[in-house]
C-alpha cells in the first residue's frame, strides 16, 4: 500500500489526467455535432460536379467506372467517392463524411507537431482542438463538401516528419498529398531549400513520382489510359479562363479582360518570387531548424497562391491550417492565425452565401501586410539564430 500522502497525490494525478481526457472527448464530440448539423446543405459545386461523379460511379459498375474520364479530379479522391457509394447513408451525407477521418488525422498530427516543441503543457491539445473548430475547416468539408483537407493533412504530416528528420515519412506524406491535389506542390520549395542546404537527401525525391504512379494504378487497372492519368493537372489548369475565382490575391486588382497577358506574366511572377525567396534562404549560412521549417512552410503556402493567377477562394486552405499551428508555436504571433483564417473565411462568403462582407480587393491588400509580417518574423528568427550560433 502507498502512504496516504502518496496515494492522495496519485489520486489527484489520475483524476487530473482523466478530467483532461474527458474534456478533450467532450470538445471533440461538440466538433462532430457541429459538422453533423451542416451536412444537409447543398452547394452548386455539389450539384454540378461531385453529385454527378458519384452517380456516374454508382451507375457504371462502381470501381470499374474509374476507367472512364468523367471527372477532372485525380483518381485517389474518386476512390474515396467509390467507397462513399457503398456507405449506408444518403449521397450528400456519404460524400461529406469522407473528410471526417482526415480531419481527425490532421488534428492528431497537429498535436504531435506542437508536442515536439511543448513536451509539457496544454498548448498542443489546445492547438489540435482549435483546429477542429476552425471556421474554414468546418465549412470546407461539412458545409461545402470540398476535400481540401485531404492534401492538407498530407502536408501537415510532411512537416511533422521533416521536424523529426525522417525522409521516408516526408516523401510518403508529400507524395500522397500531391496525388490528391496539385496545390500540395506549393510545399516543394521547402524541400528544395533543405536539399540545397544539404539537410535532406536529394535522392528521396525519386519517391514522389513513384508514389503518384502507385496512386494511379487502380484507375489504370480499371482501364483509364495512362496518358490521361499523367496529364490530369495540365487539364485542370485549362478548366477556367479567370484570373481569380474569389481568391483574395493580387489579381483582384487586375481586369479579367487582360487574361491572355496577365496569366503568363503571373506564372513568371510566381516563379520569380519563389526562386528569389529560396535563393535568399539558401544563402544564409546557418541550418534551418524545426521552427523555421514551420515559418517557411506558411510563407510559401500564402505567397504562392497570392502570386499565382486562376486561384479559387479555398486555395488558401492549407495556409489556414498552418497559420493555426504557427500561432500556437509562436504565441506572440497569434494574430497571424486570426488574420489568415479570418480573411480566408471572408473570401468564402461570396460563393457560399452570395455576400461580400469585406471587398476582396481590400482583403488582397491586407494579405500583403500579413506576408510582410511573416517575412519579418522569419528574418528576425534567422538573426537570432545567427547570434546564438556566434555566442556558442
- Which pLDDT value is given to residue 17? 63
d(CA 72, CA 52): 12
- Which pLDDT value is given to residue 4? 44
* Sign of the dihedral defined by the CA atoms of residues 111, 114, 118, 123, in that order: negative
Could you give phi then psi for residue 60, rounded to 5 degrees? -130, 40
Q: 332: burial class by Cβ within 10 Å (0-12, 13-18, 19+)? A: exposed
CA angle 111, 115, 118 (to 5 degrees): 135
Nearest to 124 by CA among 289, 294, 328, 319: 328
Mean pLDDT estimate for the chain? 92
212-226 per-position pLDDT tens digit: 999 999 999 999 998
What is the DSSP code (8-state) at residue 239? S
d(CA 162, CA 156): 10
360-383 per-position pLDDT tens digit: 999 999 999 999 999 999 999 887
Q: Tally the residues of the chain.
A: 392
Judged by average pLDDT, the poorest of 158-172, 218-232, 255-269 is: 218-232
| pTM of model > 0.75 | yes
28-65 per-position pLDDT tens digit: 999 999 999 999 999 999 999 999 999 999 999 999 99
Amino acid at each position: 500500500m502507498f502512504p496516504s500522502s502518496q496515494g492522495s497525490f496519485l489520486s489527484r494525478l489520475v483524476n487530473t489526467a482523466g478530467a483532461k481526457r474527458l474534456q478533450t472527448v467532450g470538445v471533440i464530440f461538440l466538433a462532430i455535432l457541429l459538422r453533423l448539423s451542416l451536412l444537409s446543405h447543398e452547394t452548386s459545386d455539389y450539384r454540378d460536379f461531385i453529385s454527378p461523379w458519384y452517380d456516374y460511379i454508382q451507375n457504371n459498375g462502381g470501381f470499374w467506372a474509374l476507367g472512364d474520364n468523367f471527372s477532372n479530379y485525380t483518381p485517389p479522391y474518386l476512390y474515396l467517392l467509390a467507397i462513399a457509394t457503398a456507405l449506408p447513408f444518403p449521397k450528400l451525407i456519404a460524400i461529406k463524411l469522407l473528410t471526417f477521418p482526415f480531419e481527425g488525422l490532421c488534428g492528431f498530427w497537429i498535436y504531435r507537431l506542437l508536442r515536439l516543441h511543448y513536451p509539457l503543457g496544454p498548448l498542443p491539445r489546445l492547438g489540435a482542438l482549435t483546429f477542429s473548430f476552425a471556421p474554414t475547416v468546418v465549412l470546407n468539408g461539412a458545409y461545402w463538401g470540398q476535400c481540401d483537407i485531404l492534401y492538407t493533412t498530407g502536408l501537415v504530416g510532411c512537416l511533422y516528419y521533416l521536424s523529426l528528420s525522417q525522409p521516408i515519412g516526408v516523401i510518403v506524406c508529400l507524395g500522397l498529398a500531391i496525388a490528391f491535389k496539385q496545390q500540395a506542390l506549393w510545399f516543394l520549395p521547402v524541400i528544395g531549400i533543405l536539399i540545397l542546404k544539404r539537410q535532406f537527401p536529394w535522392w528521396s525525391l525519386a519517391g514522389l513520382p513513384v508514389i503518384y504512379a502507385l496512386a494511379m494504378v487502380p484507375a489504370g487497372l480499371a482501364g483509364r489510359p495512362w496518358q490521361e492519368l499523367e496529364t490530369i493537372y495540365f487539364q485542370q489548369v485549362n478548366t477556367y479562363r479567370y484570373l481569380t475565382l474569389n481568391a483574395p490575391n493580387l489579381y483582384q486588382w487586375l481586369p479579367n479582360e487582360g487574361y491572355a497577358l496577365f496569366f503568363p506574366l503571373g506564372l513568371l511572377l510566381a516563379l520569380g518570387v519563389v526562386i528569389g525567396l529560396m535563393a535568399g534562404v539558401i544563402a544564409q549560412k546557418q541550418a534551418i531548424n524545426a521552427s523555421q521549417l514551420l515559418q517557411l512552410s506558411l510563407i510559401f503556402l500564402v505567397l504562392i497562391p497570392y502570386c499565382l493567377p486562376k486561384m479559387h477562394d479555398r486555395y488558401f486552405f492549407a495556409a489556414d491550417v498552418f497559420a493555426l499551428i504557427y500561432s500556437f508555436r509562436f504565441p506572440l504571433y497569434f494574430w497571424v492565425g486570426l488574420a489568415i483564417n479570418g480573411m480566408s473565411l471572408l473570401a468564402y462568403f461570396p460563393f457560399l452565401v452570395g455576400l461580400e462582407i469585406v471587398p476582396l480587393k481590400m482583403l488582397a491588400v491586407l494579405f500583403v501586410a500579413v506576408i510582410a509580417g511573416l517575412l519579418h518574423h522569419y528574418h528576425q528568427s534567422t538573426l537570432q539564430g545567427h547570434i546564438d550560433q556566434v555566442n556558442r
